[in-house]
Amino acid sequence: MITAGIDMGAKTIKVVIVDDGNMVGKAMTIAGFEATESAERAYTTALGEAGLAEGDVERIASTGAGRRYAPHAKHDVSEVKCAVKGAIDLYPNARTVIDVGAEEGRAIRCTEDGNVMDFALNEKCAAGAGAFTEAMSRALEVKVEELGPMSVKSTNAIPMNAQCAVFAESEVVSLLHAKTPKEDIARAVHDAIASRIVSLARKVGFEPDVVLIGGLARNVGFVDSLQRALGCDVLIPSDPEYIGAYGAALAARAG
């Protein structure tokens, strides 16, 4: 059976087409103001990549902050459930899923059957999500993709106000004036996010295997900080930002 999952994220929309458990097509667009239209475009692109037509897809499910506005989807599933479904499918020993997107960070404990035991979400705060790195890269005047590689070069941990992304931005300015190496600041940024995320993980009581998904998983600096803060390694799938949509597609198959 061919199913599709549409993840209507806060910043980006991801679409995944799944054919009998294999990801055969995927696409991502910026959500923008016309989220439904962006989703349409992503859907068309994903179908194209899979070499399929709309009629070939039997079931579609949506997830994400804007899931009620997804085109074509017949039902919606929470991000938490999709994260677990996607992660368990790829890593059967996954017992904790950490999902860090643009706007929200989540820590989820799951059973071996892929049921959600408990979950914790970051509370109204960008400092525990991808938006923080974007703000910080602006303050450091680098591209956001450069932040990760820069941070792993650091050999020095400096404390940073992890309470507020806005305050942290002005802290960065002070640190730069004090001639602090950019690498150390970049690392401090990632340490700050990691510490917020790990406190979510501790809230649900994390257990290996720990799977990391979401856009921030591509940031090597963040992964480094996270593993240090957790005290263990995390498993990262090859398309970390698509796992929510993948999970939705799997959920659609289950009906």
Partner 1 sequence: MEMVISAQMTDKSEHNQEVRQILDRLRSRDNGRDTGVRLMIIGSEDDDTAFIRMVESCGATFVVDEHCTGTRYFWNDVEPRDDRLEAIAARYIDRVPCPSKDWVDRTRIPHILELAREWNVGGAIVMQQKFCDPHELDTPAIRKALEEAGIKTLFLEFDVTVPMGQFKVRVEAFLEMLAEEDLFE
Partner 2 sequence: MTATPTYETRPLQCWGKAKEIRKQYYVDYASAHERGGLRWAGGAWTFGAIPCGLGDDVYSLTSEPYGASIAANKDFSMRCLEATERAGYARDLCSYMRNYWGSLLLDEYLWGGSFPKPDFIWQDHICCSHAKWYQVVGDHEPDIPQFCIDVAVGPEGAINENKLSYIVGQMHDGIDWMEEITGRTYDDEKLIEAVYQECRSTSLWAEICCLNKAIPAPLEEKTMYSLYVLGTLAKHSKVVADFYEELRDEVQDRVDNHIAAVPNERCRLMSDTQPPWGFLSLFRYLEEYGALSVGSLYTFGLIGMWEDKPDGSWGPRTTPQQQGIDIKDRDQALRILAAWNLSKPEWQHFYSPHLKTALMVRIAKEWHLDGVLLHYNRGCEGLSVGIAENRLGLIEAGYPVMTFEGNMGDEREFDLARTKARIDTFMETLGFTRESTSTGSASAPSRARRCT
Candidate ranges 46-54, 65-73, 137-145, 164-172; the one touching partner 2 (CB under 8 A): 65-73
Least distance to partner 2, CB of residue 81, Å:
6
The residue (of 100 and 160) whose beta carbon lies closer to partner 1 is 160
Among residues 21, 37, 74, 111, which is the contact residue for partner 2, using CB under 8 A? 74
Least distance to partner 1, CB of residue 172, Å:
10
Q: Does 192 participate in binding partner 2 (rule CB under 8 A)?
A: no
Least distance to partner 1, CB of residue 209, Å:
32
Q: Does 123 participate in binding partner 2 (rule CB under 8 A)?
A: yes
Please provide the DSSP assignment of the chain as one string: -EEEEEEE-SSEEEEEEEETTEEEEEEEEE--S-HHHHHHHHHHHHHHHHT--GGG--EEEEESTTGGG-SS-SEE--HHHHHHHHHHHH-TT--EEEEE-SS-EEEEEE-TTS-EEEEEE--S-GGGSHHHHHHHHHHTTS-GGGHHHHHHT--------TT-HHHHHHHHHHHHHTT--HHHHHHHHHHHHHHHHHHHHHHH---SSEEEESGGGG-HHHHHHHHHHHTS--B--SSGGGHHHHHHHHHHHH-
Q: Does 79 participate in binding partner 2 (rule CB under 8 A)?
A: yes
The residue (of 38 and 195) whose beta carbon lies closer to partner 1 is 195
Number of residues that bind partner 2 (CB under 8 A): 23
Q: Does 62 participate in binding partner 2 (rule CB under 8 A)?
A: yes
Q: Which positions touch partner 2 (CB under 8 A)?
A: 62, 65, 68-70, 73-81, 115-121, 123-124
